[in-house]
Amino acid sequence: MTEADARAVLAAFDSFDGLETWIAEQRWLSVPGGWVVLEQRQGCRFRVQIVPGGIRVSAFEGDADPAAWVVPSRAKGAPLP
């Protein structure tokens, strides 16, 4: 899956707060195993990784353990990997 595919999966995901769409619209930096989102949102940093079945998003805030979730690659309107 390419970066463009990963962005399309996130953009097509219909969450209640629009976070995945926001992540898809930001600037990303390629890192081993995925991408980091260059902008922060409400003090959180984000990492995007390709995993079987979708995109794993990890959110980091300070020294706290990250929150992570998977956005399925078959979200409405998303391309298949």
Instruction: Answer yes or no: is 78 within a domain.
Output: no
Instruction: Answer yes or no: is 36 within a domain.
Output: yes
State the chain's mean pLDDT as an integer: 90
| Structural domains in the chain (count) | 1
Residue where the block lists tokens 């990303």? 28
Coil, helix or strand for 22? helix
Range of the domain at 66: 3-72
Q: Would you state the pLDDT for residue 78?
A: 47
Model pTM?
Answer: 0.85
Q: How far is CA 33 from CA 12, 14, 16, 18, 55, in A?
A: 22, 25, 27, 24, 12
Instruction: Answer yes or no: is 33 within a domain.
Output: yes
pLDDT in tens, 20-39: 999 999 999 999 999 999 99
Q: Would you state the pLDDT for residue 79?
A: 52
